[in-house]
């Protein structure tokens, strides 16, 4: 018979991580474990206050599913038993991991893939002074892509400083809902001049209808506006890209379905993460196959990662070892 356990863990960050909404000094994650007595499947999730989540609430959601999980509920049934979010993500990924171990195959085989190719992740610069952000950009200028956080409409100097410090790298700007439409239209020509490749979630979710019909000189990406397939039709009218995160989608199952439907609608894919360990990034590697932009740099922001973690060399992430996940 199966057994379900859940716990929270704290993983200190290498440096404080600052975005428009606040400061993080650690990754506070939730881990679900499901065992059949021989194999153990694990999944990691990051509760996110922006979506009304906290660690205690997510743990309670997982524990509430103990009866269903221990009596055999699988990942397909799980989709109808829980809403999208961090709790379902932890359980869904644990079920994928358990099923792969029971079948003696890798999780990507269960997902219909013959192999898992390495991906190159962007590296995130948290919000700071222009000089401090430029220093971090200069130290990481050889990475293929940098993503910088901005806090509002007056941050052009930060973007200018980063571009000067890293003139050859691809650059993404993440506004975390910090702009108005007027701010965006004013900033957009300068962003194009600075060869910014993508602007992530410029307007607050729910207020981005203004983007419909506007020809942005820089491609726009939905993040907070996109959780599951339910938001894809609206996003396709407003954005060129969507950022799929397992914690928003509620697990690998919905993330894969969302990616397939997004591609069918002509949207480009970005696959992102909350700040967590390699255990949270490993299942997202499957969704990231073929994505135009990959942002799975959570382990690079930690003071230490799990052992074993994802094999990461510079910005190149290799397939997870089976001891980690899948």
Residue 89: CATH number of its domain:
3.30.390.10
Residue pair 221/241 in contact (Cβ under 8 Å)? The answer is yes
The sheet carrying 316-317 orders its strands as 119-120, 316-317, 312-313
Q: Is residue 207 classed as helix, strand or coil in its secondary structure?
A: coil
Are β-strands 145-149 and 170-174 bridged in parallel, bridged antiparallel, or unpaired?
parallel
Residue 255 near residue 249 (C-beta atoms within 8 A): yes
Task: Provide the 8-state DSSP code for 239.
Answer: -
Q: Answer whether residue 326 is part of any domain.
A: no
The arrangement of strands across the sheet holding 293-294 comes to: 123-125, 145-149, 170-174, 196-200, 220-222, 241-244, 268-271, 293-294
d(CA 256, CA 17): 28
Is 117 in contact with 316 (CB distance < 8 Å)?
no
pLDDT over 90 (residue 15): no
Residue 295 belongs to a domain: yes
Residue 319 carries which DSSP code?
A: P
pTM, entire model: 0.96
Determine the Cα–Cα distance for residues 243 and 295; give it in Å rounded to an integer.
9
**Do 85 and 201 fall within a single domain?**
no
Q: Is the pLDDT of residue 260 over 70?
A: yes
CB 1 within 8 A of CB 70: yes
| Backbone CA torsion sign across 120, 84, 91, 113 | negative
Cα–Cα distance measured from residue 65 to residue 297, given in angstroms and rounded to the nearest whole number? 30
pLDDT of 131-187, one tens digit each?
999 999 999 999 999 999 888 888 999 999 999 999 999 999 999 999 999 999 999
Are residue 172 and residue 60 in the same domain, yes or no?
Answer: no
Residue 143 lies in a domain: yes
291 and 161, same domain (yes or no) = yes
For residues 199 and 276, membership in a common domain is answered with yes
Residue 326 has pLDDT above 90, yes or no: yes
The answer on 88 and 53 residing in a single domain is yes
Quote the number of domains for the chain: 2
Q: Give the number of other CB atoms < 10 A from CB of residue 159.
A: 20
Q: Per-residue pLDDT tens for 213-223?
A: 999 999 999 99
Which pLDDT belongs to residue 150? 86
User: In terms of domains, do 138 and 255 share one?
Assistant: yes
Same domain, 144 and 211: yes
Could you say which of 105, 139, 165 is where a domain stops?
Answer: 105
Domain extent, residue 81, equals 3-105
Estimate the share of the chain in helix, then strand, then coil, as percent rounded to the nearest 5.
Answer: 40, 25, 40
Asked whether residue 41 falls in the same domain as residue 144, the answer is no
DSSP 3-state assignment of 22? strand
83 and 42 assigned to the same domain: yes
Q: For 275-320, how does the pLDDT look when each residue is reduced to its tens digit (9 = 90+)?
A: 999 999 999 999 999 999 999 999 999 999 999 999 999 999 999 9
Residue where a domain stops, chosen among 105, 140, 174: 105
Please give the structure tokens belonging to residue 174.
């993440």
pLDDT tens-digit map of 185-213: 999 999 999 999 999 999 999 999 999 99
Domain boundary among 39, 74, 105: 105
User: Are 87 and 161 within one domain?
Assistant: no
**Amino acid 134: pLDDT:** 96
Q: Do 96 and 157 reside in the same domain of the chain? A: no
Kindly report the CATH number assigned to the domain that includes residue 169: 3.20.20.120
Do 75 and 200 lie in a common domain? no
Give pLDDT, residue 20: 64
Q: Which one is catalytic: 101, 147, 245, 248?
A: 245
Instruction: Tell whether 323 is covered by a domain.
Output: no
Distance of CA 132 to the CA centre of its chain: 25
Which one of the listed residues 101, 120, 147, 149 is annotated catalytic?
A: 149
| Residue 277 token pair | 């360990």
> Would residue 112 count as lying in a domain?
no
Is 149 marked active-site?
A: yes
Rounded Cα–Cα distance for residues 180 and 154 (Å):
12
């Amino acid at each position: 018979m199966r057994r379900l356990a859940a716990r929270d863990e704290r993983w200190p960050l290498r440096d404080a991580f600052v975005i428009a909404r606040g400061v993080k000094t650690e990754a506070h994650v939730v881990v679900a474990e499901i065992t059949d007595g021989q194999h153990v499947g694990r999944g990691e999730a990051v509760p996110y206050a922006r979506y009304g989540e906290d660690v205690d609430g997510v743990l309670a959601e997982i524990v509430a599913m103990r009866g269903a999980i221990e009596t055999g509920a699988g990942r397909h049934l799980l989709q109808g038993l829980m809403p999208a979010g961090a709790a379902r993500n932890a359980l869904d990924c644990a079920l994928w991991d358990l099923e792969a171990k029971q079948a003696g195959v890798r999780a990507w085989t269960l997902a219909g893939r013959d192999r898992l190719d390495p991906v190159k992740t962007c590296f995130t610069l948290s919000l700071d002074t222009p000089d401090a952000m430029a220093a971090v950009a200069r130290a990481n200028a050889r990475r293929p892509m940098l993503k910088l956080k901005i806090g509002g409409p007056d941050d052009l100097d930060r973007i200018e400083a980063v571009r000067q410090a890293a003139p050859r790298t691809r650059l993404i700007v993440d506004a975390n809902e910090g702009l108005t439409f007027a701010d965006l239209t004013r900033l957009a020509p300068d962003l194009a001049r600075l060869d910014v490749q993508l602007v992530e979630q410029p307007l607050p979710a729910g207020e981005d209808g203004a983007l419909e019909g506007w020809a942005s000189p820089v491609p726009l990406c939905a993040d907070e506006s996109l959780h599951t397939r339910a938001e894809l039709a609206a996003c396709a009218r407003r954005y060129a890209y969507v950022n799929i995160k397992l914690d928003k989608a509620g697990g690998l199952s919905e993330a894969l379905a969302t990616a397939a439907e997004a591609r069918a609608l002509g949207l480009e894919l970005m696959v992102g993460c909350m700040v967590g360990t390699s255990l949270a990034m490993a299942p997202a590697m499957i969704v990231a196959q073929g994505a135009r932009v990959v942002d799975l740099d959570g382990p690079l922001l930690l003071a230490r990662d799990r052992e074993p973690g994802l094999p990461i060399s510079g910005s190149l992430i290799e397939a997870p070892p089976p001891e980690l996940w899948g």
